[in-house]
Each structure stands twice: as C-alpha cells, then as structure tokens.
Amino acid sequence: MTLSISDQSIRCVGIIGSGNIGPDIALHFSKVLSPYGTRIIMVDIVQEALDSGKAKMEKKIGKGVESGAFKPKQAETMIEAVSWTTDLSDLGSANLVIEAASEDLGLKQKIFGDLEEIVSEKTIFASNSSHLEPERIFAKLTHPRRSMVVHYFFPAERNPLVEVVPSNMTDPELTRSILHFYEDIGKVPLQIGSRYGYAVDPIFEGIFQAALLAVEEGLGDHKQVDHVATQTLGLGVGPFTAMNLTGGTPLTFQGLQGYHEKIMPWYQPPRSMAQQIETGQPWPAAGRSEVIDIDDQARQAIGNDLLGAFFGMACEVIDSGITNLSDLELAIELGLVMQGPFSLMNQVGIQRSLELVENYARKHDGFTVSESLRKQAASGSPWEIGVVFREDHGDVAVVTIRRPKVLNALNPQVMHQMHTIFEEIAADDSISGAVLTGYGRKAFVSGADITVLATFSGPEGPSKAEELSCRDQGIIDFIEDLQKPVVCAYNGLAFGGGNELAMGCHARIASKGMRILAGQPEPNLGIIPGAGGTQRLPRLIGMEPAWKMLRDAKPISSSIALEFGLILEEVEGDLIESAIDIVRQCASGERTLTPIPREPISVPESLPDIDIGHLSQKIDEILQATILEGAAMSLRDGLALEQKRFGECFKTQDGQIGLSNFIENGPRVPAKFTHA
C-alpha cells in the first residue's frame, strides 16, 4: 500500500537542498512515508551540506527515541529510508520532487530545467520557496501544469502548516490532490493565491520590521520589544528570538525589499538590518528565565504599535484576495505559533482595532488602512471566523469540523456554526443528504473543549453545565431529526462529545484498522456524558457493552465498534467517498438505515461488575442511575434526565477535581478523586 497524488503512487520522493530546511522535510517524510516503503532521496551539490544534513536529521531522530516519540525499530527504518547523494540523476524514479535550495530565481529555474531532462513527465514539481511567485519559478518548464509552491514553516518536521500555492498554469486537479496528500500525512495544507511572499511571511517578517522600528524609534530596547511582543501578540517567542532561531535575517531583508515594491510601500528593511547582517551577530533577545524591566507607558506604546501593524497587515492580506479570513487565522495560529489576528481583534474590539491601525498608519509612511477593516468596524459586528465548513459534492453536502490545533474539539462556536449549516442543508432542495467529518486524520472530534467546562465553577456552575448540555443536545437532536440521511465519517478518534455527535447521525463508518476509535472518557474528568451518551449508546450497541464503555471510560477500536454495531463498516479506501455513496443509497431508497430506538429499552436482570479503577465512585453512582433510569424512559425524556444529572456533577468535589487536574496536568495524569 502507498499514498497517492492524483493517479500516482508516491514510491519515491526527492528533496533538493540539504541546508536549513531540506533535512527537516526529509525527516517528516521519513516518519510518515517509510511505513509504506517510500524512498526519500536528498540531493545537494555539496557533500559537506549532505553530511551536515544527515547528521542533523539523525540527531533529531535520536532525540525522538530518547523521548519516546519513536521506537528504536521505527527510528532505524526512518534513517534507512533516506539516501543522500550529489547526483541529481538519482531522482530519475521520483514521483514527487521538492526543491529547497536558496531563494534565488535563476538557481531554482535551472534546477527544475535540469530535472525535466531526468524525471518522468508525470513527476510532480514543488518548490519550497518562501517568497517567489510560482509563475516565475516554473516559467521555463515544458510541463508547468505539474508544478506549484509548497511552502513549509520552521521547524518543518513539526510545524503543521504548509502553504500550497499553485500558479495560473497548475492543473487544478493536482492542487486538490496535493492538499489531500498533505492532510493524509498530518500537515495542515492551505491553498493560497499566487503573489510575492504568499500570505504568512509578509506578516511574520512585517512583525519583525514593526518590532525593529519600535527599537529604532526609541520605544524600548530589543529585549523589551521582544518581551512585549510575546505578551501582546501571544507569540511563543518574540520576533528577535525567532529570527535568531531561524537564521532568517538575510532572507527577511530580501523579503521586505520585495514587499515594498509588490505589497505596501511601508515594507522596507529598517536601517539597522544591514549592519546586523554585516556583523553576523544575533539580535539581542532575552533568555528563558531573564526578567525584563519595562514601565507601563513603554509597554503600552510598544504593544499598541505592534497591534496596529499586525492587524493592518492581516487585513491587507484579506483585501488582496489570495486567501480567506478563516484560513489566514488558522495559518497564523499554526505557522507562527501566535494568537490569530481576527480573534485578537474581536477581543480588543473592532473599532479599537481600527483606531490602532489608523494610528500606526499616521506614524509610518506607506502603511495602508484596510477597507475590509473599515467596513467591519462600521458594521459594529465582530469578525466571523469559520471552524465548520460545507462543501457540496453534487447532491451531498460534506460538513467538516476544522480545529486541528485542538483535534477538532467542540466549543460553542463549533456547535453554532454546525447548527446553522445543517439548517441550510435541511432547507436546500438540491441536497439529498450530508456527510459529517473532521479535519485531518487524527481525530473526528476529540471531545468537548475542556477550557469551556472548567469555567463552570461556583454556585452557578451546575446550571450553566445543564444549559450547555441542553444546547448541545438540541443541536444533535436537530441532526438526528433531519429528514435527509446524515452519515458520520469517523476520520479519526471520537471521544466524549465527538462520539455523542456521531451517534446523532443516522449511520457511522470508520477507516479500517483504527486501534483507537471511540470512547466516552468523561468519568476521567469527574463528570458524565452530557450530549446524549448515556442514552444513545445503550440504544445503539446494547446495554451490556455500553455499560462497560460508559463506566470504565476506555475506548474501543474500529473492529470492536463494527462488532458492537456502532459503525456500519470499516473502509479501506476513500472514507468520504464511501460515506457519500451511503448517503446517496439511502436518499434513493436503495438502502435503509435502522433508526435509533426512541422508546424505552429493556435492561438485563443483572449487569456485569465493572472495575472503575481510580475513577470517582460518586460520579459512577450518578452515571449508573442516569443510564438505568433513562433506559426506562423515552429517548427524549432520558436526554432531559441526562442534562439534569450532568449539571449535578458540577456540585460534587470530584467534578471540580477532575476538570482542574486536566487543565493543570493534561489527560495522562489520573485525578485524585475523593469520591465526594
């Protein structure tokens, strides 16, 4: 078995350029493709660069073994999958070649020109350029339809973002297939329109420019500005620290010059950049534990400048039309490891955000104020940031939940957008049914966003929890009551609210061979399921297996889910296409799905004893009562009972202990319940 792009099985990947990023790209490919037997060939004209790249990759793999990220045998397979050569002709059998050489147009054109003489006409060409337009890079190719930019972000083996930038000559089907391929191998690929610098680097390098201008204008020193940037923009590291880590000052200098000509006159290298490049010294930046002293007035002045520049640049990208608001928000969150600009503007206030941008523009010649921001401020409404998306495949709507940073976890924003989309599907006569799935290959939905549940403390906590349960159940009920078939495609694990959402669909399918598919882990948090799990799971798979799943909180595999009847089938091929086929069969009457029983269900005279281990006995009592009492009711009455009992969990000590433990220690540390 291999992964494919368009009609090609990817059996050999070539990477050209063993410099800063090439070995990291090779590392990622070795991790995700070596299990399929795919070969990775790294090419560079300098043997020293190859030796250095190989050592770098093997060192990172070795650290992965030490941390437990890789097993020794896996590490050995990864290393063996990559070969290192100075001979470009070794790429003759490559299905995909990624060029990661220097940011030099002539060099890139020569590399791809030479490649055309070596590889098949079907070999896919990708450039990891960070700035150059694909139309220029591939202008001299005989077969430019097979080429595009695929821009990775530092560090390439871990950073999930990939900008996919087709040219006006790229085959649209190839673009779609590349996007699916990168999603399959764990990246978050976003299609960006072609222009110099694409969507994200003008913001990354623009933040650096704004930070350096703040220093040159006397608002603070490098360390102070770096520190304020992390606090104000939610950056993992400040702009000067990031530039030191990536070694990107010369490339940023070049990029800012290009942006000045092609995007906005404000962009240009500040005067101290050339001197820093000439000396080769790193930028002054605070150490990890270093305390930075800065007064409130300076902090505010620096923060306001950085926010004004950030908001203005982000809105300029939207005005350019090369991407949309939701994609840019996600790209910046993932690629730059910082708070997204549009959610930050909503937090600051749209009118205040416009004022910050206008103030920055008044102080800095050539900085433009976005028309989209002016219109949004005039509307008095916050930005609408999409996290649930509908794509129609003929008469079937495919609805995708996309929050990859938190494995598609549910929150009020997701539930609201999903409800709106399904209302539109219900009213759309051209749509016969829907598929519900999640983004990526790790998770359908990992559960509810625990940060939301953790706010339900104090006297109002139980009532807020009950209201949340009622709201979420209402949306799931709407899907269940839809007079059009809805099939859930478990593209990955479904925990807690994710599995409860799936059970509200009329059928479920999953990719074959998933070791962990579905579970109700709520007792680990000191709560019970609140979106229908205590009532729908026994009705779907039977009381005895549901009794165990609900009480011991352990997940099941796809094969067990098939045995229990939670899913219709395990799919070896394209999961979404299989789900679409089932929807069409149901809509045409060719196939009939058995609805979930809505009447009371029988309970065996005796149920098996369940070892709940460290879990709360108090919560288990509430859970058992909810399951058994609900079984004797109609489904709707049982769901109402679950809402009430879900709220009761937040009155208990263990409810607060479980949620606090998760927030503080994560899911791997068991909570120390008091059983009260």
Residue 459 pLDDT > 90: no
The Cα 239–Cα 220 span in angstroms is 14
Least reliable range by pLDDT among 52-56, 111-115, 136-140, 287-291? 287-291
Query: What is the pLDDT confidence band of residue 102, given thresholds at 50, 70 and 90?
Result: very high
pLDDT recorded at residue 651:
95
- Read off the pLDDT of residues 367-415 as tens digits, 9 standing for 90 and up: 999 999 999 999 999 999 999 999 999 999 999 999 999 999 999 999 9
Q: Residue 513: which CATH number? A: 3.90.226.10
Tell me the mean pLDDT in the region 64-74. 96
522 is catalytic: yes
Residue 399 placed within a domain: yes
Residue 541 pLDDT: 97
Domain presence at residue 222: yes
Phi, psi of 126 (to 5 degrees): -135, 140
Q: What is the pLDDT of residue 7?
A: 86
Question: What is the Cα–Cα distance from 511 to 505, expressed in whole angstroms?
Answer: 17
User: Is there a single domain that holds both residue 162 and residue 289?
Assistant: no
| CATH code of the domain containing 77 | 3.40.50.720
Check whether 643 has a pLDDT greater than 70.
yes
Domain end, chosen from 327, 361, 379, is at 379
Catalytic residue among 163, 466, 522, 642: 522
Cβ–Cβ < 8 Å for 302, 230: no
* 675 is a domain residue: no
Q: Are residues 353 and 408 in the same domain?
A: no
Residues 95 and 157 in one domain: yes
Whether 192 maps to a domain, the answer reads no
Dihedral (CA of 118, 124, 130, 133) sign: positive
Q: Of 185, 210, 234, which residue is a domain's last?
A: 185
pLDDT higher than 80, residue 2: no
Conformation bin of residue 166: beta by default, left when phi > 0, alpha when psi is -120 to 50: beta
The number of domains in the chain is 3
In this structure, is residue 190 part of a structural domain?
Answer: no
pLDDT of residue 137: 98
Phi, psi of 41 (to 5 degrees): -120, 120
CA torsion through residues 430, 432, 436, 437, sign: negative
Report if residue 671 sits inside a domain.
no
Q: Which one of the listed residues 500, 570, 642, 648 is annotated catalytic?
A: 500
Q: Mark whether 128 and 229 lie in a shared domain.
A: no
Identity at 499, one-letter amino acid code? N
Q: 616 to each of 14, 52, 655, how far by Cα in Å?
A: 53, 53, 9
pLDDT recorded at residue 454: 86
pTM of the model: 0.94
pLDDT surpasses 90 at 169: yes
Q: Does residue 165 sit in helix, strand or coil? A: strand
Query: Is 500 marked active-site?
Result: yes
Same domain as 246, residue 168: no
Residues 358 and 394 in one domain: no
Of 18-22, 286-290, 475-479, 635-639, least confident by mean pLDDT is: 286-290
The pLDDT score that the predictor gives to residue 383 is 98
Helices (H) and strands (E) in the chain, counts: 27, 19
526/555 same-domain check: yes
Distance (Å, whole) CA 30 – CA 38 = 8
One domain, residues 352 and 451: no
Q: Is residue 191 part of a domain?
A: no
Give tens-digit pLDDT for 135-161: 999 999 999 999 999 999 999 999 999
pLDDT at 133: 98
- Is 169 in the same domain as 251? no
Q: At 347, which CATH number?
A: 1.10.1040.50
Q: Is the predicted pLDDT of residue 131 greater than 70, yes or no?
A: yes
Alpha-carbon separation of residue 158 from 25, 195, 384 (angstroms):
10, 26, 29
Contacts of 240 (CB under 8 A, 6+ apart): 208, 211, 222, 223, 225, 226, 283, 284, 285
Asked whether residue 555 falls in the same domain as residue 421, the answer is: yes
Print the domain residue range for 518: 388-665
Q: Measure the CA–CA gap between 488 and 415, rounded to whole angstroms.
A: 16
323-358 per-position pLDDT tens digit: 999 999 999 999 999 999 999 999 999 999 999 999
Instruction: Kindly report the backbone phi and psi dihedral angles of residue 172, in degrees, each rounded to the nearest multiple of 5, phi listed first.
Output: -60, -35
Are 110 and 166 contained in the same domain?
Answer: yes
Are 448 and 567 found together in one domain?
yes
Distances (CA, A) of 144 to 139, 178, 550: 7, 15, 55
The one-character DSSP state at 480 is H
260: pLDDT strictly greater than 90: yes
In degrees rounded to 5, what are phi and psi of residue 369? -100, 125
> Given this model, what pLDDT does residue 259 score?
98
**Domain final position from 139, 159, 185:** 185
pLDDT score at 1? 59
Q: What is the pLDDT of residues 312-321, one digit of tens each?
A: 999 999 999 9
Query: Is there a domain that residue 194 lies in?
Result: no
The predicted structure's pLDDT at residue 286 = 81
Phi and psi (nearest 5°) for 191?
Answer: -80, 130
Whether pLDDT at 288 is above 80: no
**Terminal CA-CA length for the chain:** 52
